[in-house]
Amino acid sequence: MTTNSNNTSLDLNAIRARLSGSQGQQLWRSLDELADTDEFRELVEREFPQGAAEMTDPVSRRTFLKLMGASLALAGISGCTYQPRQYIAPYANAPAGWVPNVPVFYASTFVLNGYGSGVLVKSLESRPIKIEGNAAHPASLGATDVFAQASLLTMYDPDRSQLVLKNGQASTWEDFTAELQNALSVQETSQGAGLRILTETVTSPTMADQLNQLLTTYPRAKWYQYEPVNRTNSHKGAQLAFGEDVDTLYDFSQTKVVVSLDADFMSPGPGYVPYSRAFTNGRKVSEEHREMNRLYVVESTPSTTGATADHRIPLQAHKIDSFARTLAQRLGVGSAAGAEFTEHEEKMLDVIARDLEEHRGANVVLVGEHQPPELHALVHAINDALGNVGSTVNYIEPVEVRPADHYVDIADLTSEINAGLVEMLVIIGGNPVFNAPADLRFDEQLESVNFSVHLSLYVDETSSLATWHIPAAHFLESWSDARAFDGTASLVQPLIEPLYAGKTVHEIFAEMLGQSDQSNYEIVQTYWQSQLDAPFEEAWHNALSLGLFDGTASPVKTVTLQGSAVGEFVASESEGIEVVFRPDPSIWDGSFANNGWLQELPKPQTKLTWDNAALMSPHTAIGVLGLNIADPNNPTINDYEGLALSNGQMIDLDYRGGKLRIPVWITPGMPEDSITLYLGYGRSKAGRVGDGVGFNTYALRTSDAPWFGSGAEVTNAGERYSLVSTQDHWILEDRDASIYRVGNLKEFAHDPEYLKHEIHHEEFGDAEHEQFSLHPNAVYKYNAWGVVINLNACNGCNVCVIACQAENNIPVVGKAQVAVGREMHWLRIDRYYSGDFDNPATYLQPMACYQCEQAPCEVVCPVAATNHDREGINNMVYNRCVGTKYCSNNCPYKVRRFNFIQYTDIESPSLKLMYNPDVTVRNRGVMEKCTYCVQRISAARIEAKERAVQQGDPEYIIEDGAIVMACEAACPTEAITFGDLNNPESRVSKLRAEPINYGVLTELNTKPRTTYLARINNPNAELETE
Amino acid sequence: MQQSRGLQNTAGTEKELSPFLGPELNYTGISEKLGGIPLTGLLKTPPGWIVAFIIAFTLFVVYLVSIYVLLLFGVGVWGINIPVAWGFDIINFVWWIGIGHAGTLISAILLLFRQNWRNSINRFAEAMTIFAVACAGMYPILHLGRPWLFYWLIPYPNTHGLWPQFRSPLAWDVFAISTYAIVSILFWLVGLIPDFATLRDQAKNRFVKTIFGIISLGWRGSATHWHRYEMASLLLAGLSTPLVLSVHSIISLDFAVSQVPGWQVTVFPPYFVAGAVFAGFAMVLLLAIPVRAFYGLKSYITMEHIDVMSKVMLATGLIVVYGYSLEIFFAWYSGNVFEEYLLTNRLTGPYAWIYFGLIFCNAISIQLLWFRAVRRNLALVFIISIFVSIGMWFERFVIIVMSLHRDFLPSSWDMFIPTVWDYSLYLGSFGLFFTLMFLFIRFLPMINIFEMKMFLHQAREKDHLREEAAASAQAGD
C-alpha cells in the first residue's frame, strides 16, 4: 500500500517507549499497530480494504464481482480471511494440579501503612479475582479490612501508570538505569552526601536489609520516612514512658472494661482485625452466656468504635488530654489537670474510675494515635497502675525497621533540599507532594532537586514533579515481605506477571546496589535464605503456603515505667473552633482515591460517598451557618431532618495560614466547636475516578499540628455544594420493634426472653398470637440456607460491603447516580440515630436480601425471573429479567438493585480480567440482588456430591462452615453466620434459637431467612438513669 | 336512504324536539354538515386546524425523540430510583388508560341503557378511548428495563417452555389492556361503517369515493345490513360493558395486590373505576367544548350534553372523594404504624403540596358543579375539567410515588425528582394523542351521522305522536 508510506509518520521514539514499557511477550502485528496510528485502526476496521477500493472503479467492478463469486464459493471450504499468526496457550502442559475453573488460593500479604496482614488471593486461570483473609495470620484471622478487599480493583485499574517517564515524557527502564548509575557514580565520590531516600513506613525485612546495604555503601546518605498516617505519637509516647521504643499489644479476650480515649481501634490500622474480634467476642451474649464487657469511649469524631460503645462522650480532641489526666488522678496516677468538666463528664469520670478499679488487671485503656505523645505516656502509666501490663497490655520490640518522627523527617528533608544539600532523591511510593504538611511547601522544593525518582502505581502529583517516574508493581504482582502488628513476618507473593511492567522497590534498590542481575524473586529469597535455618527450601515453601514465617512474632518485652511518664499537664490554647484531621474511612490517606469501589463506599458514620466534608455537630452548624430551628435550646433528633437541608452549605476555613472552602455535613455526635476533616480528597492527579473528587484538606495540615489544633476561623461562604449520601433519613420513626431491637444486659441476664415479651405485649397485649398464612410453608428436603447477623458484633466497618462488591461483580455507578438513589450495593449497612441530639446512640444494621420464605418479589414478577430454589434461596434469573421493577417496589426491605443504565464497565480490557466468572455480569435493564453467594453454595454442593460419589454414599452432606459467604468471610468481628437451618446442629440454627433472635418486619409474613440477634448494651447501672 | 317515512327533509322544524338536538336540524343538514368536514378538500383545510395539527405533530416528534433517547440509554434517563422504581411511566399509564374509560362508558353502557343523547358524542368519545389506550399502552412497554423483550409477557409457545407468571398482576394487565384495545377498535370501526357509506355517497372526488367505498365494506343500507349491524353493535356493547369495570379494576390490582402501604387497599378496584370515568368525562369535555365551537356543532353537542356530562363528572368525583376519606379513615383505624405514617407523610411530607393539590382539584373544585348555572357555563366547565385532569394525575402521583418513596424501612427512603425526559415523554404522549385526534376529526366523521339522524327521527316521531295525541284529545273535547 503506497498511501501508507506517505501518510504514516511513525514516531520511533514512541514505539520504543511503548515496546519497552510492555512485556516481552506482548504481540504486535506491525509497526503501525505499535504506533497505534489512525491508519492502522482504519485498516483493521474496514472489512474489505481491497474490495471496497475496487468498487469505485467501474472498469474493475467486473473483476470485483468475479472475486466475490469466487470467494463466496470458497468460503465454505476455507474461510476467507487470513488469520494473523498469534500464540495461544492451550495448556497442553498444564501446571501440576491445574483444573480449569477451579480456583487456587495463594497466600500473600497486604500492606497498609507498612504493616502487613495475611491474605489468601483467589486465582482463576492465573488471574487474581478475590482477596480473602488468611486465617493462619495473626493480623488477619481470616478477615480483612476494606482496603485489602478493594486493592484488587487497584491492580486492574486501567489508569495505573504504564510507562517509565522522564520529565513527563515516555522513556525506558534502560535509560533510567543508565542515568541512575551516572548519578550514583557522582554520589560515590562524596559517599552519598547528596543522596536521600524517602520511603513510607518500612517493616519489610528485605527492604530493611537493602536499605542497610545502601546506607553502608553510601554512609553519608540519609533515609527518611514520611507517611501522612503514621505512628509517630505512639512511638514518642513509648519513649517518654519507658525511655525506649516499644509497640503495645492489647489482649481483649479477658477484658471487662475498655476505655478508649479517642482510640478508634475498630477501624483499619495495625491489629485491626484481631482487636475488633477479641473485643467483640466479649460482647456476644447468649442464653447460656449472659456476660459482656463494657466500653467507654471518649472521642472527638464519631467512629465505628464509638458506635459500639456503652457510654460515649464527645469531647474536643484537645480536651481529651485533661480528661485522661483527671481520670488518672482519680486512679492515683499523677495530679489533676485542673480543667473544668460538665456535671455529666464529672460523673462519667467517677464512674469510669470506679469501674476500672473494680476490674483491675482485666481492663484496657487505649489512646488514639492522633493524641499527643504525653498522653500516650500517661496511658502507659494508667495501664501500669491498673495492673494491666502483663495481662491485657503487653509490650514488644517495635515492628517498624526504624520508628521515626515522620513530621521531623519530612521537615528535615525539605530544609536539606532548600539548603541545596540534596542532589539525588529516591522516593519510594507515597505521595509527599500531595500529602506532606502544607507549611513545608514540599512541592516547591522537589522541583529543585536535580535527580529525583518516584516509584508509584500512578503518575500522581509527586510523579509529575519528579525527574523520573517508575511504574510500581502492585502487591499482587510483586515479591516482597512485611511484618504484622505483632512482628510476624510474611511474604508478599505475586499472583500475576506485572500488567504494566511495574517495578518493585527491591528492584530499584538492587539497581542502586549494582545487583541488577537479581530478579525480584531472587532478592527476596536471597534475603530469607540468610535468615532461615536449613533446610531452606522447606522453610520457604512452608512460609509461602502458610502465608507467614512461623515463630517470627516478637516476644513480649519487659519495660520499666520512667518517672517522667506522667508528665505535666500543659494547658493548651483552646480558642475558636478546633480542626481535627482523620484518615478517610474509605480512601485512607488518598492513596486509594482512584478506586471506585472505595469512593462509592458510604462512610461508616455519615454514609457520605464520593466526597469529604467538614463534619460538625448540629449545634456548631447552627452557630456557624446561622441556622434557624424551632427551639434552638432544646432541639430534638427530629429537627435533624430540617437541619440536614443545610448539608452541603459551603464554609471558608482559615486555619494556620491555610484556606479551604469545604461543604458542611452535620454529624450528630460530634463535640461542640469542633470540625473533623477527612484526609485524602481533592486529588488532582489520581486518575479518572479520583481526580477532582472532594476537597484537599492537606492544605490545612501543618507539621506542628498534624492531627488537631484550635483557632480555626469559620465563615459561611454562602455557596452550596451537592453532597451525596446513601441514606437520607436518620431515625427509626418508632419502628424499633419491627426493625432494630435494642436491649440491655441487666434485663437480659434476668430474663433472656424479655425483649420478645416486651414487644409482644406492646403489639398484642396479653393475647396469644400466632402468625396465620393461607400459604402452606414449602418443605425443604435438603438444605435450607439461612443467616443470622449479630447486631452486637456489627460496628459498621463496611468490609462486608466491599467484599460483596468484589465477589459479585457489582458495578460502580458514580456520584451522579448515587445522588438520585441508584447505588448498587447488594449489601448495605443502615445507620439510625436514636436519643440525644448531641450524642445519639448509633445503630448499624447490615441489610441484604433476606431470601424470604414468602417472598413478595416473586409473585409480582410477570416473567418469573425471580424464584425460589429447592434450598430456599430467592434466585435472580438475570437473562429472564425484563426489568418491570415491580419486585423492588414490593420488597419491604428495598434490597433489590436495578441497572437503570449500563453501569458495568464491559469495555475496559483490564477490568474484564477482574470479574468473577462464576457470577453473571449484569447489563442494563436487569434487576439484581444478594443471593447468599449462590456460586459458593454451588461450588460446595458440587464438591460434596463428588465426595459422596467417591465414598459411595447415597446422600451428600455439606458440612456446616463449608460455605462461607463473601461478607461473612471478610467480617472482622464474625457478625455474620451462614448455614443450614435444616441442620439443628449448625451454628446458624443455634443462633436462630437464641431468645434475642428476631426478624425484620416479620408482621408482613415474609418469613425472612436472615434474622438478627438484637443489640444488647451493657450500660453502667450508675449512669443508666440518665 | 336519507328519507324515511316521507317526512320533510329539507327544512328544519325550527322547533325544539329534544334538549339534545338543535332546533334547526334536519336529515340533509346532518349529512352535509357532518359529512362535509371529512370531505373538505385538502386545500380548503381550515387554517386553524393546520396550526393545531402542527403543534400536535411537533409534540409527537418530542415523543419520538424521547423514546429514542430512552431506548439508547435505558430507563435511567428518568428520575426513577430505588425505592421509587415507578414514576411518570406508570402514573401516565394509569392516567391515560383512565381517560379512555369515558369513551367506553358512553358508547357501551349508555347504549345498553338506551341513553340516546349519547349519539352525538359517542364517536368522538370512542376515538378518544382508542387514542388514549394507544398512549397508555406504550408506557408499560417503555418502562421495561429491556423493552425489546416485552413479548415475554405474552403467553406464547416457545422452545424454553416458559410461560408468563400468571400470579403477577402485570401479566393480567397484558390481557386486560390488549382485550380492551381490540374491543374498542372493533366497536369504533363497526360503528363507522354506515357513515363510511354515507361519505362514499356524498364524496365528489373519485379517489375519496373509492377509499370510502372500500372501507364501507359494501354497505348498502339494506334491512339485513341494518339488522346485522344492530346485532353486532349490541354484542360489542355487551362485551365492552364489563370491560369498563374490569380494565381499571385489574390495573388497580397492580397496586392492591402488593404490600406497599398506600397500595394495599381493598377499595382500589371500584375507586379506580370511578376515578377513570371521572377523568374520562373531564377529557371528553375538554375536547368537546373547543371542537364544538370551532366547527359550529352547537346543535349537535348542546348545552344539555355539557350539563349531563358535568353531572356524571360530579357523581363519579364524589365517589372518588369517598375513596380519599376512606383512605384517611383506614390509616387511623388500622392502628398500623406504616399506614399511619403514610397519612402523616401525605399531609406533612415533602410532597404534601401534591396531596393538597389533589384534594383541591378533585374534591373542592367539582363542588361548583352542583349549580346548574356553573354546569351551563362553558368556561367554568372547561376550567373545572382541567382541574379534574390535573387532579387525577396528582392522584396517581400520590398513590405511586408518595407510597413508594417512604415505605417500611426509613433507611431506604428517598425522593423522586423527575428529569427532562420524564416530562418530555409525558408531553410527547399528548403529541401522539392529539396528532391522532386531529387526523380523526379532519378525515372521519367525528359525530355519528346515522345515529344523529335516527335520534332526530325518533324525536320527531315522539313529537308527532305527542301532537297526534294532543290533536285527538282536542278532537275528543
Question: Which amino acid type is present at position A378?
Answer: L
Using an 8 Å Cβ cutoff, are A873 and A915 in contact?
no
Q: Which of A156, A129, A133, A143 is nearest to A935 (CA)?
A: A129
Question: Looking at CA atoms only, how far is residue A884 from chain B in angstroms?
Answer: 5
Peptide bond into A917 cis (omega under 30): no
Q: Which residues, at least 6 apart from A758, have a Cβ–Cβ distance to it below 8 Å? A: none
Q: Is A831 on the interface with B (CB under 8 A)?
A: yes
Contact B145 A926 (CB under 8 A): yes
The whole-number pLDDT of residue A571 equals: 65
The whole-number pLDDT of residue A509 equals: 92
**Phi, psi for B169 (deg, rounded to 5):** -60, -25
Q: Is A893 on the interface with B (CB under 8 A)?
A: yes
The whole-number pLDDT of residue A49 equals: 41
Using an 8 Å Cβ cutoff, are A205 and A481 in contact?
yes
The whole-number pLDDT of residue A46 equals: 47
The whole-number pLDDT of residue A928 equals: 94
Q: Closest to A820 (Cβ–Cβ): which among B79, B85, B413?
A: B79
Which one of A637, A866, A891 makes the best mutation probe of the B interface by having the most chain B beta carbons within 10 Å? A891
**How many angstroms separate the CA atoms of A992 and A980, rounded?**
11
> Where in chain A is CATH 3.30.70.20?
736-768+780-1017
Start-to-end Cα distance in chain B: 40
Using an 8 Å Cβ cutoff, are B290 and B329 in contact?
no
**How many angstroms separate the CA atoms of A671 and A200, rounded?**
32
> What is the DSSP-derived secondary structure letter of residue A843?
E
**Phi, psi for B257 (deg, rounded to 5):** -75, -25
Indicate whether B427 pLDDT > 90.
yes
List the beta strands (DSSP E) in A173-293: 195-199, 222-225, 247-250, 257-261
- For chain A, which ranges sit under pLDDT 50? 1-10, 23-32, 44-59, 75-81, 1026
Query: Of A795-799, B34-38, B182-186, which range is least confident?
Result: B34-38
Q: What is the ipTM of this complex?
A: 0.89
Per-residue pLDDT averaged across B454-477, rounded?
Answer: 75
In B, which residues are within 8 Å of A832 by CB distance? 410-411
CATH architecture assigned to A100-156+474-498+520-564: 2-Layer Sandwich (3.30)
In A, which residues are within 8 Å of B174 by CB distance? 862
The whole-number pLDDT of residue A321 equals: 87
Question: Which amino acid type is present at position A474?
Answer: H
Contact B406 A729 (CB under 8 A): yes
The whole-number pLDDT of residue B1 equals: 37
In B, which residues are within 8 Å of A731 by CB distance? 410
**What SS3 state is found at A68?**
helix
Per-residue pLDDT averaged across B131-145, rounded?
Answer: 92
Q: Which of A368, A366, A364 is nearest to A388 (CA)?
A: A364
Q: What does the block give as the cell for A502? A: 511495574
**How many angstroms separate the CA atoms of B112 and B252, rounded?**
26
pLDDT tens string A349-386:
889 999 999 998 899 999 999 999 989 998 998 998 88
In B, which residues are within 8 Å of A738 by CB distance? 337, 408
Render A638-680 in DSSP notation, one character per residue: GGHHHHGGGTTEEEEEEETTEEEEEEEEE-TTPPTTEEEEESS
Contact A897 B164 (CB under 8 A): no
Q: Closest to B337 (Cβ–Cβ): which among A735, A861, A889?
A: A735
pLDDT tens string B387-410:
999 999 999 999 999 999 998 998
> Where in chain A is CATH 3.40.228.10?
246-393
Contact B153 A882 (CB under 8 A): yes
Residue A261, CA distances (Å) to A34, A345, A392, A830, A1015 in order: 59, 14, 17, 26, 23
Q: Closest to B85 (Cβ–Cβ): which among A731, A847, A889?
A: A889
Q: Closest to A888 (Cβ–Cβ): which among B85, B143, B169?
A: B85
The owner of cell 528533608 is: A413
Which of 3.40.50.1100, 3.30.1330.60, 3.30.70.20, 3.40.50.720 is the CATH number of A736-768+780-1017? 3.30.70.20
In A, which residues are within 8 Å of B161 by CB distance? none
Contact B337 A1004 (CB under 8 A): no
Give A660's strand partners: A653
Q: Is A917 on the interface with B (CB under 8 A)?
A: no
Q: What's the pTM?
A: 0.87
Which one of A867, A885, A1001, A1010 makes the best mutation probe of the B interface by having the most chain B beta carbons within 10 Å? A885
The whole-number pLDDT of residue A9 equals: 47
The whole-number pLDDT of residue A764 equals: 56
Render A74-140 in DSSP notation, one character per residue: HHHHH-SSPPPP------TTPPTT--TT--EEEEEEEEETTEEEEEEEEEETTEEEEEEE-TTSTTT
Q: Is B420 on the interface with A (CB under 8 A)?
A: no
Q: Is A899 on the interface with B (CB under 8 A)?
A: yes
Strands A424-428 and A577-582: unpaired
List the beta strands (DSSP E) in A172-308: 195-199, 222-225, 247-250, 257-261, 294-299
Question: Looking at CA atoms only, how far is residue A505 from chain B in angstroms?
Answer: 45
pLDDT tens string A388-408:
888 899 999 999 999 989 999
Which of 3.40.50.620, 3.30.200.20, 2.40.40.20, 2.102.10.10 is the CATH number of A577-725? 2.40.40.20
Q: Is A739 on the interface with B (CB under 8 A)?
A: yes
The whole-number pLDDT of residue A395 equals: 93
Contact B409 A892 (CB under 8 A): yes
**What SS3 state is found at A390?**
coil
Q: Is A882 on the interface with B (CB under 8 A)?
A: yes
CATH for A160-231+400-472 is 3.40.50.740
Q: Is B112 on the interface with A (CB under 8 A)?
A: no
Question: Which amino acid type is present at position A980?
Answer: D
**How many angstroms separate the CA atoms of B124 and B102, rounded?**
11
Peptide bond into A103 cis (omega under 30): no
Using an 8 Å Cβ cutoff, are A657 and A439 in contact?
yes
Using an 8 Å Cβ cutoff, are A113 and A269 in contact?
yes
Render A504-547 in DSSP notation, one character per residue: -HHHHHHHHTT-TTS-HHHHHHHHHHHHSPSPHHHHHHHHHHHS
- Write a three-state SS string for A403-454: CCCHHHHHHHHHHHHHCCCCCEEEEECCCHHHHCCHHHCHHHHHCCCCEEEE
Q: Where does the pLDDT of residue B356 fall: very low under 50, low under 70, confident under 90, or very high at 90 and above? A: very high
| Residue burial A389-423, b: 16+ Cβ < 10 Å; e: rest | bebbbbbbebbbbebbbbbebbbebbebbeeeebb
The whole-number pLDDT of residue A325 equals: 87
Give A124's strand partners: A127
**CA geometry: angle A814, A430, A178, nearest 5 deg:** 120
Q: Closest to A894 (Cβ–Cβ): which among B83, B169, B171?
A: B83
Using an 8 Å Cβ cutoff, are A214 and A197 in contact?
yes
pLDDT tens string A430-480:
999 999 999 888 888 888 888 999 999 999 999 999 999 999 999 999 999
The domain made up of A246-393 has a fold known as Dimethylsulfoxide Reductase; domain 2 (3.40.228)
**Phi, psi for B327 (deg, rounded to 5):** -60, -45
Using an 8 Å Cβ cutoff, are A144 and A110 in contact?
yes
Q: Which of A185, A955, A120 is nearest to A548 (CA)?
A: A120
Q: Give the residue from chain A lying closest to B90, CA to CA.
A: A884
Contact A822 B76 (CB under 8 A): yes
Q: Give the residue from chain B lying closest to A764, CA to CA.
A: B335
Q: Which of A56, A53, A59, A10 is nearest to A34 (CA)?
A: A10
CB-defined contacts A:B, below 8 A:
169
Q: Closest to A888 (Cβ–Cβ): which among B82, B163, B411?
A: B82
The whole-number pLDDT of residue A448 equals: 87
Q: Closest to B164 (Cβ–Cβ): which among A734, A862, A898?
A: A862
Based on the number of CB atoms within 10 Å of its own CB, is A886 exposed (0-12), middle (13-18) or buried (19 or more)?
buried
